[in-house]
Chain A
Amino acid sequence: MSQAILPNYLIVGAILFGLGAIGFLSRRNLILMFLSAEMMLQGVALNLVGFGGHHKNYQGQAFVIFMLTVAACEAALALALILVLFRNRKTLDVSVWQDLREANQDPVQDESPLLLEPEMTPMHFPRLTPAGLRPDQAASPEEAATRG
C-alpha cells in the first residue's frame, strides 16, 4: 500500500464528518438528523480503516466492527425514541421539543411562510394489500375506509 493512501482516506473521512455535522445542525427532521450522525460515524470509520491499512494490521477494521455494533444499538434505541416522540406530538420536527428552554422565554417560531414549490405536492406511497386477499381483489383504500 502506498503511504499516500492514509491522508487521502483521512481527507474523505474529514469531509464526510463535516457534512454530517452540517446535516445534524441544520435539518429539522429527527430521522435526517440521525442519519447525519450516522454519516459522521462513517467518516470516523474511514479514518480507522485508513490507519489500519497504514499500520498494516487489522485493529482498525476490528474497531470499525465494534463501531457498527454500537451504531446498530444506537439506531435501535434512537428509532424507538423517535417513535415515542412521534406518538406524542404526531410530528418528526425536532423544533416542537423546546420544553427545556429558559423560563419566560417564548418558543422559537417559524417566521417566514413557505414558498409553495411545484415539486412539493403530496406524495403517494404504495399501500400493501391486506393479508388473505388476492391483490386484484383488494379494495381501493377509499372503499376499505367506508367498509370500516
Chain B
Amino acid sequence: MGSLFTWVWQHWYVLLPLLLGFLAIWKLLPHARQPQSAAMMGLGAAAIILGGIVLPRATGVHVSWMFDLFFYLFAGAAIASAGAMITQRNPVYAALYFALVILNVCGLFLLQSGPFLAAATVIVYAGAIIVTFLFVIMFAQQSGLAQYDRRCREPLLASLAGFLLMGALLYAINASYQVSPRLTGLVKGLEETVNSAAKTTKLEVKDLMGILRVNDAPIDLLLAEELNRLPGWPEKAAARAKLHQLETQVIAAAANQDTAVLLNLVKEYYSLAASLQHAQQRYTGLLGIPAGMQTQVSPLSRRTEEPGHVAQLGRTLFGDYLLAVELAAVLLLIATVGAIVIVQRPKEAAA
C-alpha cells in the first residue's frame, strides 16, 4: 500500500490530467437526467492543457518553435474534438467533430512529412466516409433527436475502462522514455567536477574519491544499475566491461595517490555516464528500439533527404508492398460487392 502511495505521489503529473479528463468525460457523456454543464467542459479543457504541459517529452533537439506550435495546436484540437465527438448528443454534430479529429490528425501527419497520407485521409475520411455517415444519419433520424442519443450505456464503467487503458499506455510510453533523474544528476555533478578541475591546479585525492561516491554509494554500483535498465542497447556488454575496468583502475590510482590519473578516470566516468544518458533517451526499456534504425528496411522504403515524398511513398507501396496493394484492391472490390448484396432488399419485400 505504501509503495502504491509513493508511486502515485511520484506520478501525480501524469495521473492528475488523466483524473480530470476522466471526470469530465464521465460527466459530459449523455446522462438521462443531467444536462451537459459548462463546468465539466472547462474541466476537460483544463485536463487537456495540463496534459499538454506535463505529458509531451521535449528532451531532444528542437526542430523549430513553429513545429512545436503546430504540434500542440493539432494535437490539442484533435483531442478536444475527440472528447467533444464522443460526448455530443446530436449525431450530426458528432460526425462533424469526427471530421475535425480527422483534419487535425492529418495536420499531425503533415508534421511527419506525410502530405500524401494527409490528403488521402482527408479525402477518404472527411470526404467520403463522413458524407456517407451523415447521409445515413439524416436518412435514419428524420424525426429529430432520438431517445438513445440522450442516454448512454454505463458511462462510469466505460470511462473508467477507457482511462485505465489510456493511463496504462501513457505510463508505458513515459516509462520507456524516462531518463532516470538520478543519472541526470550524476552527469551534471560529474560535468561540474570536470569543469572546475580544469580551472584549479590543486587536487586532493580525497576530494576526487568523494566525487566518485553519491550518497555513500560507489558510483560504479549506480552506473551498473542504470545500465541494467537498458535491455536493448547494443554496446551494453562493452559498457559493462569498461565500468569494470574503471573500477579496478580507480582502486589502483587511489592506492598510488595519483591525482592526474584519478582526474582522467573521473573524466572517463563522465563520458560513460553521458553515453548512458544518451542511450537511455534512445534505447528504451519497453520499446527497446533505437532511433534511425535503417538496416532492416529495403532501400525502396528508406527516407532520403531529397524532396519528392509522394514519389518515395509510391516506391514503397508499389515496390515492397506490391502484393499487399493488390490484395487490398481485391479486398475493396469484395467489400463493395458485399455491401451491395447486404443492403439489397429481398425480392418479395421490394415488390
Q: How many residues of B contact A (CB 8 A)?
A: 114
- Given the interface pairs A61-B313, A86-B140, the reply to whether A9 lies near B82 with Cβ below 8 Å is no
Q: Say if the beta carbon of A139 comes within 8 Å of chain B.
A: no
1/0 contact string of A16-29 vs chain B (CB within 8 Å): 11111111011111
Least CB distance from A80 to B in Å reads: 4
> Which of B164-172, B183-191, B224-232, B235-243 lies at the binding interface?
B164-172
Q: Say if the beta carbon of B252 comes within 8 Å of chain A.
A: no
Say yes or no: B86 contacts A26, CB within 8 Å. yes
- Given the interface pairs A2-B63, A19-B162, A62-B316, the reply to whether A79 lies near B147 with Cβ below 8 Å is no
Q: Say if the beta carbon of A138 comes within 8 Å of chain B.
A: no
Least CB distance from A121 to B in Å reads: 7
Q: How many residues of A contact B (CB 8 A)?
A: 87
CA distance A91 to B159 in the complex (A): 25
Which chain A residues border B75 with CB–CB below 8 Å?
8, 12
Least CB distance from A18 to B in Å reads: 3
Q: Say if the beta carbon of B144 comes within 8 Å of chain A.
A: yes
Say yes or no: B170 contacts A14, CB within 8 Å. yes
CA distance A74 to B282 in the complex (A): 37
> Which of B1-9, B149-157, B207-215, B263-271 lies at the binding interface?
B149-157
Say yes or no: B152 contacts A3, CB within 8 Å. no
Interface residues in chain A, defined as those with a beta carbon under 8 Å from any beta carbon in chain B = 1-12, 14-23, 25-29, 31-32, 34-36, 38-39, 42, 45-46, 49-50, 52-59, 61-62, 64-66, 68-77, 79-84, 86-87, 91-95, 110, 112-115, 117, 119-123, 125
Q: Show 25 A/B contacts (Cβ-Cβ < 8 Å), sorted by A.
A: A1-B63, A1-B112, A8-B58, A14-B166, A14-B169, A16-B78, A18-B163, A21-B162, A22-B86, A26-B29, A38-B125, A42-B105, A46-B105, A50-B112, A54-B289, A57-B303, A59-B316, A62-B313, A75-B132, A77-B338, A92-B148, A93-B148, A95-B148, A110-B147, A114-B150
Interface residues in chain B, defined as those with a beta carbon under 8 Å from any beta carbon in chain A = 25, 29-30, 32-35, 51, 55-63, 71, 75, 78-79, 82-83, 85-86, 89-92, 94-95, 98, 101-102, 105, 108-109, 112-114, 116-117, 120-121, 124-125, 128-129, 132-133, 136-138, 140-155, 157-159, 161-163, 165-166, 169-170, 173-174, 176-177, 281-282, 289, 291-294, 297, 301-303, 312-313, 315-317, 320-321, 324, 328, 331-332, 334-336, 338-340, 342-343, 345
